Structure 1
Amino acid sequence: MRGRLQLALMVMALSVLMASTAQAEGVKSSVPTLQGGIEEGNPQRSDRNQSVTTTKIQRLNEIELPATSVKDLFSQSSTPNTSSPIQITAVRAVPTPQGVEVVLETPFGEQLQVTNRSSDNNYIADIPNAQLRLPSGDAFTFRSEKPVDGVTEITVTNFDANTLRVTVTGETALPTVELFDSDTGLIVGVVTATSPTPPTSETPQEDDSIAIVVTGEQDGYWVPDASTATRTHTPLRDIPQSITVVPQQVLEDRNVRSVTEAVETVPGVVEGFSLSGVPGVGASIIRGFQQGTSDGGGSTLRNGFRDLGFWGLSAIGTVEQVEVLRGPASVLFGGLEPGGVINVITRQPLSEPYYNVALEVGNYGFFQPSIDFSGPLTDDDTVLYRFIAAYQSAESFQDFVNTDLFSIAPTITLNLGDQTAINLYYEYLETLVDSTELPGRLSDGSTIFPRDFYPGYPQFNSLEATTQRYGYTLRHEFSDSLQLRHAFAANNSDFDTQESSGTELADHRFLVIGNNSINDFSWNSYFAQIDLLGEFNTGSIEHQILVGFDYSNVANAQNFGFPTNPPPNLDISDPDYDNDDIPEPIYDRGENQDTIESYGVYVQDQIALLDNFNLLIGGRFDWISSIGEGDFRPGRTSDNSAFSPRIGLVYQPSDIVALYASYSRSFQPPPVFGLFNEGGGGEPFEPTRGTQYEVGVKTDWLDGRLSATLAAYEITRTNVVTPDPDPVLAARGFSVQVGEQRSRGIELDVTGEILPGWNMIVSYAYTDAEVTEDNSIPEGNQLTGVPENQASLWTTYTIQEGDLEGLGFGLGLFYVSDRQANLQNSFTLGDYFRTDAALYYRRDRFNAAINIRNLFDVEYFDAGLFRADPLTVTGSISWTF
């Protein structure tokens, strides 16, 4: 099978090259016109810009030869890169005697081409090769509500990765709109829908009465670009790998409480291990491989930088969107599992005042007030801020469990001129769990007690944890084509846990309390990165090159203990939780300290060979040093290195279709706590390696409102640790690295807007993840927690007009097939079909919603044998002012 897949990859790559050459013989032309005003007979301006856009695929004999000297290279790099969208850095709405003018400002007063049309009461102007950006480089949406009589709103938003859309909506008729140039950019002149008088081109005067709402969120379900795959803002269709973006609107519509819940609509991603029901603590399984449970969060990112992951608290209120890159990502981020990586993008300071107050309440004692404030601190917008804070209190369906979570997250952005910006951030989270939630299954897979039964002694189960994140990012633009970026990120997390839970049943009645321990974990990670991002041309070939260096240090200190007097068995027919005869445990304690230090250098080039043929190539080299010491870590050090390449091709046979193929590798540092390799010969383990081949197709439908990705892949994970074949050495705990695991699959992802107000996300994944070589696990056994079939549908509809405008409905369907609970495949976690629902009302700045999770109260388990939440109802209300 592997040989056939590799052959298929080569055949597809050859077909792409042949098709590209054949397509180079043809010319494709699209000539949109701007007639002035609106197409349906509106007055024209004599100074209106006419625009004609022609797309031509170059013939081979028309391709300009690359530079042959350093002088030629820099001469060509100074030529404007027409493929890079012009950035709209500010949008202003100012009144005129006839109406209002919306000014789209560009850094250097670039000329913008416009294609306009009308639809019902909407005037729509599409501006190709332009994108709306904040000073920090992030996308945003501009909205002016009821700026003049007869006009409902004016919006300016990124329609796709290369197109800016201006929409003017009339209340009862089509508004009158004129477009004309200014020294700073483009002016959109608007008068009322009933006024025949065109706007003036005279310099407008500012007026504070205009209602403007500028937010840092990306409206809608489809996001045209992402940064996780390349560390640059790259259109999704130009990335030769599967990537899914879960935007703010989806997080709000579903009202998710954690990142794990946020990615439930992503194909190939399912919930992995969790931790005692702690808010925001958990891990996901991506393409068959568990992420971030023992490596200090190495498989999770936060704004593109290493995070604590499983051993770090998180609050969903600070999240702007979540990007999931499926497949190896070591080429840019270092040691990772091969299944993929989850990158959480946080909310950033805004250039316009924004204040949001919210309250959520729900069953099981759920209560959460929160605030989100942002805006400028200075009149010239050189200092921007954002402050997010929340408090959460909740009980559980399991008796005795009660959880409190407090979080604050201040952020400051300093705009030091037009070319330099510094972002400073801090986040603090603290949780207290009086009695932690316990697994709902025993070690043999049986479930012998109801949901609300507590299978342990609540007084011996608790958790206290704090997490702090702080750091900064610096960006400096030397020119339009060269940029320096630098970042520092620190993550500190402390977990104090006490656990005492049942593991098996004796005499069909007494629960054996066999899992007893006390642990004080301290995870500390520090990350620093610097890179250069440049654009230049070699002849007609365009390059966007990234060169960087990063350093990370992850240290885990553990103080642990096991009781010398474990508590007595628990009678499940008549549990006595307050037994006065139970003595306080006395623990035999020990300490361990593990540290992983790594240095990495990476280079990446995004090459536009033709208008419809792109090449992505990159490589990274890492040096890793691991040190383990302590009572159960006889002092040991290992030094390793790893090279992680990636190469991918994207061919676009039409404006709406992109075909891609890629090859990539990953590595993960060996666990410090593992015993030595090769039968006790004293050699430390080497990193595990992942190798992926992937092919796929990406399409855009309905004028770009709906996108789909279909992908097929094969990932092989090698250097897996398995017991030594010598039974004597295996009994002593020694291992060898000859194990292999493989995951193959097909994934489908469809996202976007079907009709105005009707959004949808559909996903399906088929995953065959199995053990292919091992000394103790039978070959063919399925990997832990991986369903063969996974499917989801989430859809919403919002009424667009009339008295019920703003009223919306949501429905979610989630299916996960059977999964194996362990590598031995000794028992199975059953399949489940869960239904979610939502009812919401959004009008102006008011938002109210009711969200229902697990509508039909289906019982199922995660990979950590914890029961999923039963029927959960949450009511929320918020006001933005």
Structure 2
Amino acid sequence: MKRTKLLPYLLLSNSVGVLVATSALAEVTPISQSPIIERSHLSEIEFPLTPVKGRVQQPESGKSAVVAQVDGNLVQITGVQLNPTEMGLDIILETSEGVALQAETRSEDNTLIADIPNAVLLLPEGEAFRQDNPVEGIASVIVTQQDVNSIRVTVTGTETIPTAEVMSSASGLVFSLTTAPDTAEMPPDAPEEIEIVVTAEPETGYRVPRATTGTRTDTPIRDVPQSIQVIPQEVIEDRQVTRLSELADNVSGVQPSVGYGGLPSNQTFIRGFRSGVNLRDGFRDFGFLSPRDVSNIERVEFLRGPASVLYGNLEPGGIVNTVTEQPLPYPFYEVSMTVGNYDFYRPTIDLTGPLTENRELLYRLNVAYENADSYRDFNENESIFIAPVLTWNIGPRTTLTTEVEYQNYNYVFDRGFRPEPEFLELPRSRFLGEPDFNDAEVDSFFGSYSFQHEFSDNWKFRQGFSAIIVNNDIREVNLRPLEDDRRTLPRRASMSDESQENYTLQNEFIAELQTGSIGHQILFGLDLSRYEFTYDFFGAPLASIDIFDPEYGAEPGDFEPSFAEEYGSNTIAFYMQDLIEVLPQLKILVGGRLDWSDIFYRNRFTDESINDLSEFAFSPRAGIVYQPTDSTSLYFSWAKSFNPQFFSRSRTDEAFEPERGEQFEIGVKQEFLDGRLAANLALYEITKQNVLTPDPIDPIFSIQAGEQTSRGIELEIVGEILPGWNIIATYAHTDAFVSEDNTIPEGDRLVGIPLNSASLWTTYEIQQGGLQGLGFGVGVFFVGDREARLPNTGLEIPSYVRADARLSYRRDNWQAAVNFKNLFNTEYYETQGFFLTPQAPFTILGTIAVEF
């Protein structure tokens, strides 16, 4: 593998040129050209979750308003910055959180006045801020404490009132002033207008109240009768996550699953069942083969329980949806560098903003590079990731977003250890392949577009298309069962070319209707998809190795074809869903999906079609939510899933029925501290039927006599206890076992699933005083013992308790952090269902990030 330690520094130096060029392009703060919105009072303004643009006509009182985010606490304004622009001036009111600001604006003569409630001015230079003649056209800018809980910003123009544009940013609230507004289209007697862009405040803190995965619509989580937990970007940054599977630590009922030979993935066990398919912005992604970089992830949504009603053939445990960052309507640039032990280097770049003065075109670009050695002998990896996004605001109700992700990932293919007791005696660094042979390279491409048009306030159409193309070139040493001396490991060399193609076209209508006093949010859609997986394997003999005293350098013999196959499906699906509001406190969710799948399975050596068949499946879901108070939701749900059997046929050459899953779930969702803290308690039972098990007449074949059951309790508490103090606490009791089988003993536990698991991650950042911006974090993670094989052989993956810690400092436009992972050097293992992979010992990662 070719690796270049110089590349991180080259990438950072090149980023400076990119940053300068982009800054010059996006520095202009343009004026919105959107139509006038006839609203004048703060309580009447609707706040969407995605950036929208609008012009607020000044009413007779001369007042207009914009909201970034409001809560009941006083927000500290810790700094005022004035940044001249080509059109005028940006006034940035800096906060420690960059959130929770509200502004009410009005004009008097040549003066613009903005009052900001629920805020306190804490400036290092004094009790007020004043700057005279900061730019041409503006006589003065004054920021003062108006009363005990509000701040006033006063901007006086030299001749005319400046045009104001108000936006939320990561740093706080931005007043973008234009000193020469365009009045050509305004009649002479038209009232003066204050132009305002209303942008949704990005979710901050650990609690995210809304998600799309559960309903494919933007819906409050408390209204969905199913367990959903969202991990936002703040958690990813605070924990310094470099592999998405790490986030399973913070979700109850979810365990990480090892990627393909060490490939970074978001594969997990959810409620006892391994999720073979995940979602990328709502599109299906067979994540076992495709790496997933964290640099452009906005949040990760975990939906627990069957999701076939919206997404087709899946395991019944649940699904994970990664949501990518989207372009912002204002300039934002960030460069970061992470370094760690084991020669870990990871620079990243995040650039976003408008490409045109009227903000019709917005862009975002994420770039990440990674180069690292490993705690595993002879392991190393190198990755380059590029992800541009472009949004075209075609009109007030029409948008088109296109995005591309490309990743090249080179790594040493290493599955770890076999599930045999002797391997648990080895040091976690022990490598059992061949240093000069084990190697892998993955090229992953993801491209998509999303077109959305609102016909009216009540009708919306969305069309989305995605293409995922992945090519894997792998050289692997296969590990066989130990010989009788319990130290000699037979091995065999293999080479493979593997490719995955996944295409999806989604068409959806969303309607909000009333039938009398009953409200409906109706979703109906049509999906067209094609999935294909192709592989060619070649094998060669390779010398055995002593696992306790390895000697490397064995050369493979002559390679011969082993097998070459191709399988996949073409699917047409129609689905409908209705979220019914019977009463404000009573909501019912019903839905169903019809899937028609043509499944193919072909031997590429003989060009013989082995398992072509057509499948029809109906996947229903129903649930009810009762909300006795504004902070409490009680729910019950029932759902079914299906998952086709691609590979196998019976002894009589008959195709198998798809696996069928069914879940019953009850739960309560409770909010505390005015919604800043939320808890979810769920009880469930899942039954999966038609599980393949060996044919008692001829074990080479299978029959569908198996059934697996998972029942459990899950609890999570997420949110902000006090300003600056965030927490995620989880507990899960998961009893996942074989409930019917003709060969496996009933009651055997499913592989990799602990009976009990719990976690706590909490951070605190000092909010004021001389140490403001200093932060601390600590995490404790417990996983009980797990079975290593099925049928259970008595070999258990040992339980463990692991601790992490964090120290950070945030100041102005930069921050630095040091994360300590596995603080006490705990030895523990993860699995993908068979192999045991030792996890990292004590690890340090340090990060510096600068915003521009």
Which TM-score tier does this pair reach, normalised by the shorter chain? 0.7 to 0.9
Q: What amino acid maps onto 2:501 in structure 1?
A: N
Q: What amino acid maps onto 1:766 in structure 2?
A: H
Helix, strand or coil at the partner of 2:553: coil
Contact kept? 2:266, 2:292, Cα under 8 Å: no
Q: After TM superposition, give the deviation of residue 266 of structure 1 in Å.
A: 0.3
> What's 1:221 paired with?
206
> What's 2:816 paired with?
848
CA distance in 1, matches of 2:668, 2:142: 41
* Within-5 A mapping of 1:757-772: 757-772=724-739
**Aligned partner (choices 468, 490, 493) of residue 491 of structure 1:** 468
Are positions 1:861 and 2:829 aligned together? yes
> What's 1:286 paired with?
270
Q: After TM superposition, give the deviation of residue 361 of structure 1 in Å.
A: 0.4
Q: After TM superposition, give the deviation of residue 644 of structure 1 in Å.
A: 0.6
> What's 2:323 paired with?
345
- Per the alignment, do residues 209 and 716 of structure 1 end up closer, same or farther by CA in structure 2, a change over 3 Å counting? closer
Q: Deviations over 1:93-141 (max 9, x none)?
A: 9xxxxxx9984289xxxxxxx9997759799xxxxxxxxxxxxxxxxxx
CA distance in 2, matches of 1:757, 1:403: 36
Contact kept? 1:215, 1:354, Cα under 8 Å: no
Are positions 1:670 and 2:645 aligned together? yes
**Aligned partner (choices 288, 308, 318) of residue 286 of structure 2:** 308
CA distance in 1, matches of 2:285, 2:151: 57
Are positions 1:778 and 2:753 aligned together? no
Which consecutive residues of structure 2, in runs of 5 or more, have no partner in the other structure? 1-38, 57-61, 79-89, 103-115, 129-140, 175-198
> What's 1:543 paired with?
520
Q: Deviations over 1:255-307 (max 9, x none)?
A: 111211123200000012332222x2352100000111xxxxxx200111111
CA distance in 2, matches of 1:310, 1:166: 50
Contact kept? 2:426, 2:548, Cα under 8 Å: no
> What's 1:275 paired with?
260
Q: After TM superposition, give the deviation of residue 194 of structure 1 in Å.
A: 5.6
Are positions 1:751 and 2:718 aligned together? yes
TM-score for the superposition, normalised by structure 1: 0.78
Are positions 1:104 and 2:73 aligned together? no
- Per the alignment, do residues 155 and 115 of structure 1 end up closer, same or farther by CA in structure 2, a change over 3 Å counting? closer
Q: After TM superposition, give the deviation of residue 169 of structure 1 in Å.
A: 3.1
- Per the alignment, do residues 102 and 762 of structure 1 end up closer, same or farther by CA in structure 2, a change over 3 Å counting? farther
**Aligned partner (choices 714, 721, 724) of residue 692 of structure 2:** 721
- Per the alignment, do residues 104 and 455 of structure 1 end up closer, same or farther by CA in structure 2, a change over 3 Å counting? same
Q: What amino acid maps onto 1:527 in structure 2?
A: T
**Aligned partner (choices 132, 145, 148) of residue 193 of structure 1:** 145
Are positions 1:511 and 2:482 aligned together? no
Are positions 1:619 and 2:576 aligned together? no
Q: Give the length in aligned residue pairs.
A: 734
Q: What amino acid maps onto 1:575 in structure 2?
A: P
- Per the alignment, do residues 510 and 704 of structure 1 end up closer, same or farther by CA in structure 2, a change over 3 Å counting? closer
Q: After TM superposition, give the deviation of residue 395 of structure 1 in Å.
A: 0.8
- Per the alignment, do residues 842 and 87 of structure 1 end up closer, same or farther by CA in structure 2, a change over 3 Å counting? closer
Q: After TM superposition, give the deviation of residue 455 of structure 1 in Å.
A: 1.5
Q: After TM superposition, give the deviation of residue 209 of structure 1 in Å.
A: 12
Helix, strand or coil at the partner of 1:761: strand
Helix, strand or coil at the partner of 2:735: strand
Are positions 1:530 and 2:507 aligned together? yes
Q: Deviations over 1:669-722 (max 9, x none)?
A: 212x21x23x41x32111111100000000100011000000000000011111
TM-score for the superposition, normalised by structure 2: 0.80
> What's 2:366 paired with?
388
CA distance in 2, matches of 1:212, 1:157: 7
**Aligned partner (choices 572, 575, 596) of residue 569 of structure 2:** 596
**Aligned partner (choices 141, 162, 165) of residue 205 of structure 1:** 162
> What's 2:662 paired with?
691
* Within-5 A mapping of 1:623-702: 623-630=596-603, 631=605, 635-671=610-646, 673-674=647-648, 676-677=649-650, 679-680=651-652, 682-702=653-673
Q: Deviations over 1:801-830 (max 9, x none)?
A: 112111100001100001011221111101
Q: After TM superposition, give the deviation of residue 445 of structure 1 in Å.
A: 6.0
* Within-5 A mapping of 1:58-457: 89-90=52-53, 103-104=65-66, 119=74, 145-146=92-93, 155-156=99-100, 167-171=118-122, 192-193=144-145, 204-206=161-163, 217-278=202-263, 280-281=264-265, 283-292=267-276, 299-433=277-411, 435-441=412-418, 443=420, 446-457=423-434
Q: After TM superposition, give the deviation of residue 602 of structure 1 in Å.
A: 0.4
Percent of aligned pairs sharing the same letter: 41
Helix, strand or coil at the partner of 2:257: strand
Contact kept? 1:771, 1:782, Cα under 8 Å: yes
Q: What amino acid maps onto 1:471 in structure 2?
A: S
CA distance in 2, matches of 1:116, 1:450: 52
Contact kept? 1:442, 1:502, Cα under 8 Å: no
CA distance in 2, matches of 1:237, 1:869: 37
Helix, strand or coil at the partner of 2:424: coil
Q: After TM superposition, give the deviation of residue 450 of structure 1 in Å.
A: 1.6
Contact kept? 1:482, 1:535, Cα under 8 Å: yes
> What's 2:552 paired with?
577
- Per the alignment, do residues 442 and 516 of structure 1 end up closer, same or farther by CA in structure 2, a change over 3 Å counting? farther
Q: After TM superposition, give the deviation of residue 407 of structure 1 in Å.
A: 0.6
Contact kept? 1:153, 1:168, Cα under 8 Å: no
**Which has the larger displacement, 570-579 or 324-333?**
570-579
Contact kept? 1:122, 1:175, Cα under 8 Å: no
Q: Deviations over 1:139-192 (max 9, x none)?
A: xxxx97437xxx99984579xxxxxx975332279999xxxxxxxxxxxx9951
- Per the alignment, do residues 660 and 717 of structure 1 end up closer, same or farther by CA in structure 2, a change over 3 Å counting? same
Contact kept? 2:50, 2:200, Cα under 8 Å: no
> What's 2:780 paired with?
813
- Per the alignment, do residues 167 and 591 of structure 1 end up closer, same or farther by CA in structure 2, a change over 3 Å counting? farther
Helix, strand or coil at the partner of 1:221: coil
Q: After TM superposition, give the deviation of residue 660 of structure 1 in Å.
A: 0.4
Q: What amino acid maps onto 1:168 in structure 2?
A: A
> What's 1:520 paired with?
497
Contact kept? 1:847, 1:877, Cα under 8 Å: yes
> What's 1:97 paired with?
none
**Which has the larger displacement, 477-486 or 819-828?**
819-828
**Which has the larger displacement, 202-211 or 255-264?**
202-211
Q: Deviations over 1:372-427 (max 9, x none)?
A: 10111000001111111111011111111111111100110011010110001111
Helix, strand or coil at the partner of 1:760: strand
- Per the alignment, do residues 372 and 245 of structure 1 end up closer, same or farther by CA in structure 2, a change over 3 Å counting? same
Q: What amino acid maps onto 1:241 in structure 2?
A: Q
Q: What amino acid maps onto 2:631 in structure 1?
A: I
> What's 1:138 paired with?
none
> What's 1:822 paired with?
789
Contact kept? 1:101, 1:204, Cα under 8 Å: no
Are positions 1:792 and 2:777 aligned together? no
CA distance in 2, matches of 1:217, 1:380: 22
- Per the alignment, do residues 283 and 167 of structure 1 end up closer, same or farther by CA in structure 2, a change over 3 Å counting? same
Q: What amino acid maps onto 2:790 in structure 1?
A: L
> What's 1:459 paired with?
436
Q: After TM superposition, give the deviation of residue 544 of structure 1 in Å.
A: 0.6
- Per the alignment, do residues 49 and 572 of structure 1 end up closer, same or farther by CA in structure 2, a change over 3 Å counting? closer
Contact kept? 2:42, 2:65, Cα under 8 Å: no
> What's 2:579 paired with?
606
